[in-house]
Structure 1
Amino acid sequence: MGGETKYHPYVKPNRYKKNDPAPRVVPPVGTTVVAQFKSPEGDVCGPPLNLPADVTPEQLALLLNNLLENEDPLPYSFLVDDTEIKTDLHLDIIHGLNRSTEDQITILYRPQAIFRVRAVTRCSASLTGHTEAILSVCFSPDGTQLATGSGDTTVRIWDLTTETPQFTLEGHKNWVQIVAWSPDCEILASGSMDNTIRLWNPKTGKAMGEPLRAHSQVITSIAWEPMHANASCNRFASASRDGTVRIWDATLRKVLLTLAGHTAPVMSVKWGGEGLIYSGSRDKTIKVWDAITGKLVRTLEGHAHWVNHLTLSTDFILRTGPHDHTGKRFATKEEAHAAALARYAAATHDGARKERLASCSDDFTIFLWEPSTGKKSLTRMTGHQQPVTHLSFSPDGATLASASFDKSVKLWDGLSGTFLTTLRGHVGAVFQVCWSSDSRQVLSGSRDSTLKTWDVKNRKLRHELPGHADEVYSVDWSPAGDRVASGGKDRVLKIWRH
């Protein structure tokens, strides 16, 4: 036998060059597996099928589109036990997870965005004007304008067509920590350390009346009622270090309801799609409120330290309302409202998929909740070694990204909370994360002065974006997908493009 190489019967030697890192494991000819498709909501699709063991994701997509009777084929990803089928079923699952071909396998399918967002690779504009740190950057829901809030007490609006300054909004007497657009893009709200909220007309740059005073301490968070729930787009909620959340009518310029009950500063507020408002506080709790009556529905408990941030699985669809990747404009409010309703219904499968809430804390953990149905958490997610400062659901709700002082970004399954991967590369605390509108890339901004984009499917660094001279406090990816904005300690607003 000397000198002769023995091959395992599963390995075909002639298909590989000598310098290949490892031979690919292939099943014996004719090997089949019994498998059944299952939707993200848990519904089975079609009968169990006898599939070739080496069936590819492309072949699975053809089969599934056929089963679902999709007139226009849609792209899907396929998972078994939270492991994605990237090459073929045998390599990734049978061999990769050590599963038997005798077992029936359940294949979870997930729809993917039909469009693709191109990676941002270069800085297209470095815009000066702010004289202190930029604390908040936020694109308008339709992606045509960008607002920034700064430690210099001003809000600035930037023209994205020319990537130049458009308006400087002056009036606050202290740092502006938050800027938030109404869903119809008609009003920009800003919240400040001067304890006031101001409303601005983003088309003219003019203040809409006097500052709104009701809170006795710093404004920490602002959330507008989504367009599908209110075509007028005139109500919003504000959270403050004074421990309250207030619901405002922007037209009447007055407080409609005060949500009191927290015993410490409220750091994050979200206005959900199911008629509920969520508030996360330094009293370690999250409270769920009825948006119409202001009554407390339930309190979510579990965190052992401050709650820093909240995110909803519906965040992207609530933020963008009627606006999708096509850039379509609407002639009337009614038309926009109808489009927002249709997009929300599609995103939630006509209510079959309940809104999920994730919370992160200084206790290093994340909790996943289904707050409309009960106060028990779905799961507690551990792994970060330092406070978790920020988190964000992907636009399709399938993945959750978290940012931490431990210098890492972690990805979690958005339905089960299962840990997926740690994205390492930053050498300083990660302050914020945001997503591309096709859910395929996540972006992080850090104390180390860089932004990084990560490929979610391959779980690898896509691009490093250096250029800031100091800490990056705030990042946002345009809903249109074409631009990223970042701001921080160096006072420079940077726009990044493909």
Structure 2
Amino acid sequence: MPPRPNKKRRVADKQAAEEVVSKKLKAAASAALAIDGQALVQFVDPDGKIAGPQLDVPLGTSKEQLGTLLNQLLENAEEMPYSFHLEETEITSNLAASFGKLASQSTERVLNITYYPLAVFRVRPVTRCTSSLSGHIEAVLCVAFSPDSTKLASGSGDSTVRLWDLNTELPKHTCKGHLNWVLAVAWSPDGSRLASAGMDKIVLVWCAQSGKNLGALRGHTQPVTCLCWQPLHVAEGDSFPLLATSSKDAAVRIWDTSVGVCLRSLTSHSQPVMQIRWSGERPDIGGVVYSAGRDCVIKVWNPKDGAMLNELKGHGHWVNTLALNTDYVIRSGPYSHEPAKFKDLAEKKEAAKKRYAEAIELCGGERLLSGSDDFTLFLWRPLVSKTPVCRMTGHQKIVNQVAFSPDGRWFASASFDKSVRLWDGRTGKYVHAFRGHVGDVYQLAWSADSRLLVSVSKDSTAKCWDISRRKLLEDLPGHADEVYAVDWSLDGARVATGSKDRLLKIWRH
């Protein structure tokens, strides 16, 4: 006869089960009470400006209802999308869920709800490879889409630059002229010219339509590391934008590509200059140039007279990467995700100026970001102060690349510690670490709507991340070796990756 279970134990188990049920009932009841409650809320923009009066709203108010309320307060003609934040937490479902995470849960005080504008259009995540473009006979080292998203340029270790037609996804021109690896390619903001440079110390300028060599810019005595065009809206009068180049000879040179002459040589770095950026602020002097490299200092230049305006010190090791929160709008010039036709350069300049002004208003002033071999990042307001906004730590190895989202709301950093980290674009506050790569992460590219991010790695894969849900959306294997370069077209339709396996791959939804 089997032994009978202990009566005391049965009673104890029954009591424990009843306690669990009663706790769950109490929790459900308190949640219902919370949603039944009211709260005083005040909408504020990211800069702290108040929108409308304080409102007494139910705690059960959903994110969609908050959106409708805000659109009415701002008197928007058509309903615009926004994301809402209660202190540090994003409101994803309703007010009560985020209210429950606050340290002091008092409905007596006024709750500030910070709203961030989102892109009206949505970019679909890339999910499949539609073309493998072969032709290069060495590793593909750099890729870049043209501002109007109709062409793609790639530079390779085989000393050639190739132009690809994106309508057919077939090769268009092979541009020969370099004598060594091509390390960088950059489109002019109006899309009519392409500059390329690399180990042979020469900068070549190509016609985007015909692939014809428009001239060689000679002057650097060491490999050229970075290329950057002047923003279209700050180019002087009717003239074409200038080009800035940095080199391992510790100099930054500014060129007039129309006549092929060097206008300025900026020489006060003591070590190789690895990165440059051309800001759209200070149109009176044609913008501002930032340069950084292996002397651990970021220098701020006046391109008009070549004077050094400032020095930004803070990094303890080589500076590898610079990014501006206006990079996207500067690079795309007059073009947006919507197709547009322009009569002449003057019309393009006017459109670029308008888009830049809108971008500056959206992201609350221009900011500069730097990443270094000392595992840290610095966020700067270089024309406001010499001291950084903040210093960001967390990466365990060197920071290889940093990139702002097109709306300036976020920035991401890629590191050799195999992670991609997400930070707040205004404050530099750490938000999330995306983990999934099993090799060094080399480069990043944002989608035009700032909702998605793609990263490429030594592990031969590209990965597409969802920013709002903070998770991996698509794993994109296919390359047979390390993936060195990535770019996302400005219309959001395609991602291009370049690899050591000598292939360019086009990824689409």
TM-score class normalised by the smaller sequence = over 0.9
State the Cα distance separating 1:42 from its structure 2 match. Answer: 2.2
Tell me which amino acid in the other structure corresponds to 1:263.
S
2:35–2:60 Cα contact (<8 Å) kept: no
1:405–1:431 Cα contact (<8 Å) kept: yes
1:143 to 144, 149, 158: 149
Q: Percent identity?
A: 49
* Correspondence for 1:124: 130
- 1:321 pairs with 2:337: no
* Correspondence for 1:429: 440
* Correspondence for 1:216: 221
Tell me which amino acid in the other structure corresponds to 2:183.
Q
State the Cα distance separating 1:28 from its structure 2 match. Answer: 3.3
State the Cα distance separating 1:98 from its structure 2 match. Answer: 5.7
State the Cα distance separating 1:116 from its structure 2 match. Answer: 0.4
State the Cα distance separating 1:100 from its structure 2 match. Answer: 3.0
2:189–2:331 Cα contact (<8 Å) kept: yes
3-state SS of paired residue (1:95): coil
Structure 1 segment 138-177 matched on structure 2, within 5 A? 138-177=144-183
- Output the CA distance in 2 between the equivalents of 1:309 and 1:28: 47
* Correspondence for 1:474: 485
Q: For the structure 1 residues 330 and 362, does the alpha-carbon distance in structure 2 shift closer, same or farther, using more than 3 Å as the test?
A: same
State the Cα distance separating 1:401 from its structure 2 match. Answer: 0.5
* Correspondence for 2:354: 342
- Output the CA distance in 2 between the equivalents of 1:481 and 1:105: 36
1:26–1:54 Cα contact (<8 Å) kept: no
3-state SS of paired residue (1:395): coil
Q: For the structure 1 residues 29 and 394, does the alpha-carbon distance in structure 2 shift closer, same or farther, using more than 3 Å as the test?
A: closer
2:231–2:241 Cα contact (<8 Å) kept: no
1:77–1:84 Cα contact (<8 Å) kept: yes
- Output the CA distance in 1 between the equivalents of 2:364 and 2:403: 18
Tell me which amino acid in the other structure corresponds to 1:229.
V
- Output the CA distance in 1 between the equivalents of 2:128 and 2:104: 43
State the Cα distance separating 1:219 from its structure 2 match. Answer: 0.5
* Correspondence for 1:272: 279
Q: For the structure 1 residues 255 and 420, does the alpha-carbon distance in structure 2 shift closer, same or farther, using more than 3 Å as the test?
A: same
Structure with the larger helix share: 2
State the Cα distance separating 1:83 from its structure 2 match. Answer: 2.0
1:487 to 473, 476, 498: 498
- Output the CA distance in 2 between the equivalents of 1:43 and 1:9: 42
Tell me which amino acid in the other structure corresponds to 1:247.
I
Tell me which amino acid in the other structure corresponds to 2:475.
E
* Correspondence for 1:256: 263
Q: For the structure 1 residues 371 and 29, does the alpha-carbon distance in structure 2 shift closer, same or farther, using more than 3 Å as the test?
A: closer
State the Cα distance separating 1:80 from its structure 2 match. Answer: 2.4
State the Cα distance separating 1:95 from its structure 2 match. Answer: 3.3
* Correspondence for 1:238: 245
2:35–2:96 Cα contact (<8 Å) kept: no
Q: For the structure 1 residues 379 and 92, does the alpha-carbon distance in structure 2 shift closer, same or farther, using more than 3 Å as the test?
A: same
State the Cα distance separating 1:48 from its structure 2 match. Answer: 2.2
Q: 1:108-162: per-residue Cα shift (whole Å, max 9, x none)?
A: 1100000000110000000111011110000001101000000000000001000
* Correspondence for 1:460: 471
Q: 1:331-376: per-residue Cα shift (whole Å, max 9, x none)?
A: 22222221111111111129x9220010000000000001111111
1:449 to 460, 464, 470: 460
Q: 1:190-223: per-residue Cα shift (whole Å, max 9, x none)?
A: 01101110001121111012x2111111101011
Tell me which amino acid in the other structure corresponds to 1:252.
V
3-state SS of paired residue (1:392): strand
- Output the CA distance in 2 between the equivalents of 1:106 and 1:233: 47
Unaligned segments of structure 2, at least 5 residues:
1-13, 282-286
3-state SS of paired residue (1:246): strand
Aligned length: 486
- Output the CA distance in 2 between the equivalents of 1:160 and 1:10: 60
1:199–1:208 Cα contact (<8 Å) kept: yes
- Output the CA distance in 1 between the equivalents of 2:180 and 2:99: 56
* Correspondence for 2:231: 226
3-state SS of paired residue (2:225): strand
Tell me which amino acid in the other structure corresponds to 1:327.
P
- Output the CA distance in 1 between the equivalents of 2:430 and 2:62: 25
- Output the CA distance in 2 between the equivalents of 1:177 and 1:27: 62
3-state SS of paired residue (1:348): helix
- Output the CA distance in 2 between the equivalents of 1:378 and 1:245: 26
Structure 1 segment 308-387 matched on structure 2, within 5 A? 308-349=320-361, 353-387=364-398
Q: For the structure 1 residues 32 and 474, does the alpha-carbon distance in structure 2 shift closer, same or farther, using more than 3 Å as the test?
A: same
- Output the CA distance in 2 between the equivalents of 1:97 and 1:410: 26
- Output the CA distance in 2 between the equivalents of 1:342 and 1:204: 30
1:94–1:100 Cα contact (<8 Å) kept: no
- 1:307 pairs with 2:323: no
State the Cα distance separating 1:36 from its structure 2 match. Answer: 1.2
1:183–1:233 Cα contact (<8 Å) kept: no
State the Cα distance separating 1:462 from its structure 2 match. Answer: 0.4
State the Cα distance separating 1:287 from its structure 2 match. Answer: 0.7
Query: Which structure has the greater CA radius of gyration?
Result: 2
How big is the alpha-carbon RMSD for the aligned residues of Structure 1 and Structure 2?
1.7
- Output the CA distance in 1 between the equivalents of 2:185 and 2:31: 53
- Output the CA distance in 2 between the equivalents of 1:10 and 1:372: 56
* Correspondence for 1:21: none
State the Cα distance separating 1:291 from its structure 2 match. Answer: 2.5
